Chains A and B, each alone.
Chain A
């Protein structure tokens, strides 16, 4: 079988592809970390076969006794009730990428481990700084301007909520595939909600405002009451344990002077 063994976050995951071509696409799309562990926490079977192309980003989630179904025009996911085994059927590379992000996001929320957040993330002196905001706010720009600092994500950041704080893991879900993967986890020092501006300014946000700002940045689709409660609790932990700021930045690297100050 065409198999990929990897670790996403701290979860060993096995991906079984229906063909060498699908495996090659997986390896191109995702910056996977190698895993030598034998027992995966989640096994994902990937099949290319859906005929319908992409029409909308909306995903319908149905919870049944045996498991959960995620459905979009161009992909379907079935994962069992324990989130041990998943079957992903996709139309295209885009569908495959989004399906894997949707599945992993559901997995980490279901287990109460953490969240997948629309953001880029940069390392500065072994501490992680997240950049988020509305579409077009500058997440990718901020990441690019942060070079040569290490990039943990440029699109979707992996956050683990711990008792002592939030830590970030390298994310395989990238818009630009980067061959550099970063092992381990890094403490989250700040979350920065981006605004492009003529001058640099960084303003601390109230926790309530931060919560409302970040709630639509979470990759999550289920409307199930229990799931929504779980996301709310995880997001509340993030907001309470992390400094969150509005970051008004000129399109140059000088905003880092405020980040380090």
Chain B
């Protein structure tokens, strides 16, 4: 099962219901909502789509199919941004 992990150490800044991830290597700032930040926080360790989905459905009681699609899209964007990387199987 494919797993993902944060690409390198980054700072996050937390405000009200939004969180900003600051990448000092790339000089980028990425704003995440509550759910995105929950995923991001989980990715301090290697996680699969399934594992992330289970965390979210447990917290938010949202149908599995919707969460899987959202998590997949989220991971793709985070990979494109260079904030996470493939952690292997």
Contact = CB atoms under 8 A, between A and B. Distances in A.
A234 to B, nearest CB: 11
A38 to B, nearest CB: 40
A22 to B, nearest CB: 36
B24 A207 contact: no
B81 interface: no
* Residue of A215, A229, A232, A240 ringed by the most chain B CB atoms within 10 A: A232
A208 B11 contact: no
B22 interface: yes
Question: From DSSP, what is the main secondary structure of chain A's interface residues?
Answer: helix
A225 B37 CA distance: 22
B24 A239 contact: no
A223 B15 CA distance: 24
Contacts of A45: none
B18 A232 contact: no
B14 to A, nearest CB: 8
A228 B23 CA distance: 10
B80 to A, nearest CB: 20
A215 B11 CA distance: 14
In the A-B complex, the 7 residue pairs with the closest CB atoms: A207-B15, A208-B18, A208-B15, A228-B24, A236-B13, A232-B11, A207-B16
12 contacts: A207-B15, A208-B15, A208-B19, A208-B20, A208-B31, A211-B20, A212-B20, A225-B24, A228-B22, A229-B11, A236-B15, A240-B15
Interface of A: 206-208, 211-212, 215, 223, 225, 228-229, 232, 236, 239-240
